[in-house]
Amino acid sequence: MTRPSRRDFLKGTVCASAFVGCGGAAGLFQRTALAAGAQPEGRGTALVVIQLSGGNDGLNTVVPYEDDAYHRSRPTLRLAADRVHKLEAGLGLHPDMPAFARLYHEGRLSIVQGVGYPNSKRDHPVAMRDWETAMPQQALAQTGWGGRVADFAHASPITDVPSVFVGPIAPPFGVRAGEAVVPAIRSLEEWLPSPRMWLTAQGTQAPGTGQPSPTPSPMLDFLRESTARAYAARDRIQSSRRAQSSDYPRYPLAQSLKSVAQLIRAELGIRFYLTELGGGDIGGFDSHAGQVLNHGSLLKELSESVAAFAADLQRDRLFDSVLVMTFSEFGRSLSENGRRGTDHGAAAPVFLAGGRLKGGLVGKHPSLTDLDQDAPKFHTDFRRLYATALDGWLGIDSGQILRGTFAPVEGVKFG
C-alpha cells in the first residue's frame, strides 16, 4: 500500500472518514495543525490585512486641516487644526487616533494617500468584491486575493495553510481559495482542542499513551504521525500565549489581533492574515448620518488595537517580520449631507504599519477642488499596493496572484 501524502490526507481522510472527527473547532484545528507539521526554516514575513467595512471617511481620518475647501464643505464635521494630531504637509490624524500618531512619529506607520481604482460603482457589495478579488468589474471571479495566496503556496512542502481569517464575522470573500484550506477562527480560546476532542482510528492512541497500533497500516501510521504533529502545533500555540503581553484593549479587533500575534509566535507557516473592523456586510464605516461619534469610536479601536499588536510583537522583535495593511471599499464624499454624515466616495488613504517599514506620507493628498462626483479622485491603484506587499514583502509573484502586472508603489520602503 502506498503511503498517502500529507495533502491527500488533508483533502480526504481528515474530513471524509471515521478516522478523525471533523466537526467544529477540533476538525478545523486539526486541518490547520496537520498542514503546519512541516515547519519553515526560520521565520518568514507575514502580511496582516485589516478590512474596514462600510467605506471609511478618509478626509476625517487623515485630515487636510489647512484646506479651505474641506472646511467649507463640512460645516459640522470639519476638524480644526487644534484638534488633530499633526503630521506634515498640512495633514493630521483624527483626534481619536493618538496611538497611530505615536506609531507615525516613531517611523513605523506609513499613510498611502489617494488609493482607489478606475470606475468604482460606489456600491458596497460590488466595491468590496473588487478589493477582495483584486479583479475589479469581474463579477465572475471565484477566488479572493488572499485565497489565491493560499492556492499559490498550495504545492509548498512547508504548509498547506498560508492564509487564515481571524474575526467574529463570516469569512470575507478575500480569503476564498480554489484548492487550499483557509481556516476561519473566531478566537483561539474556542479553537484550541483538548485531548478529549480527538477521536483516534481503531487501534491508535492519543500521543503520550505509549500504546502502539496492533495492526500495521500505512494509513494508521500516517494518522498517528499527523496527530502527533497536531499536538505539537497545539503546544506551540499554547507556549506563544504564555509569552504574549496581556496589554490589549478589550475591543473585538484587538482580541482578533491578539490571536494573530499568538499564531505568528507559534510559527505555523501562515503568511497571510485577514481580519475585520466594522462588522462586515455594509459595515459600521458607512456613516451617512450622525457620523461624529461612530466614526471616532471605530478609528480609536483601529489605532489602539494595531498599536497594542505592534507593542506586543516588538518585545520579541517579531514586528520586524510583520506588515499590517488596512483597506476599505471606498472613501466618502467631500461634502457632508443634511444628516451630518457623508455619502459614498472614491479614493481614501491606506495605512501600513511594520517594524521594518520606513514610515511617513506616501503620495500627494488628492485635490479637493478637482473632484469625481464630489469625492477626491484616486491616483494610486490599490493593486499596485497589493503588488508591493506581495513582491516586496512576502516574496510572492504578484502577477500570479493579481492576474496582471502592477508597478510597486514608490515610497513604500522596507528596511
Residue 32 cell numbers, joined: 490547520
pLDDT confidence tier of residue 154, bands split at 50, 70 and 90:
confident
Provide the terminal-to-terminal Cα distance of the chain, rounded to the nearest Å.
51
pTM, two decimal places: 0.85
Range in 136-145, 180-189, 315-324, 338-347 with the lowest mean pLDDT: 180-189
Of the candidates 148, 157, 205, which has an alpha carbon nearest to the alpha carbon of residue 182? 148
Rounded to whole angstroms, the Cα distance separating 12 from 16 reads 6
Q: Which fold has domain 42-189+249-414?
A: Alkaline Phosphatase, subunit A (3.40.720)
pLDDT tens-digit series, residues 166-210: 999 999 999 999 999 899 999 777 666 555 444 444 444 545 555
C-alpha to C-alpha distances, 408 to 83, 104, 128, 231, 411, nearest whole angstrom:
34, 22, 22, 41, 9
Across the strands, what pairs with 93?
62, 85
**Cell digits of residue 45:** 514575513
Expressed in percent and rounded to 5, the helix, strand and coil fractions of the chain are: 35, 15, 45
Q: What radius of gyration do the chain's Cα atoms show?
A: 23
The CA-based angle 120-409-162, given to 5 degrees, is 85
| Residues 133, 87: Cα–Cα separation, whole Å | 33
Domain ranges in the chain are 42-189+249-414
Chain position carrying cell 512619529: 105
Question: Residue 126: is it exposed, middle or buried by C-beta count within 10 angstroms (0-12/13-18/19+)?
Answer: middle
Contacts of residue 381, defined as CB under 8 A and 6 or more positions apart, other chains included, come to 115, 116, 117, 118, 406
Q: What's the DSSP call for residue 192? A: S
Q: Quote the DSSP letter at residue 374.
A: S
CA-nearest of 34, 37, 36 to 9 is 34
pLDDT digits (tens, 9 = 90+) for 35-71: 444 344 446 899 999 999 999 999 999 999 999 999 9
H or E, element range at 362: strand 360-362
CA atoms within 13 A on the CB side of 2: 5
Contact 252, 168 (CB under 8 A): yes
Q: What is the DSSP letter of 201?
A: -
- Bridge partner list, 400: none
For residue 385, give the H/E element and its range.
helix 382-387
Residue-wise pLDDT tens digits, 350-387 = 999 999 999 999 999 999 999 999 999 999 999 999 99
pLDDT in tens, 247-300: 999 999 999 999 999 999 999 889 999 999 999 989 999 999 999 999 999 999
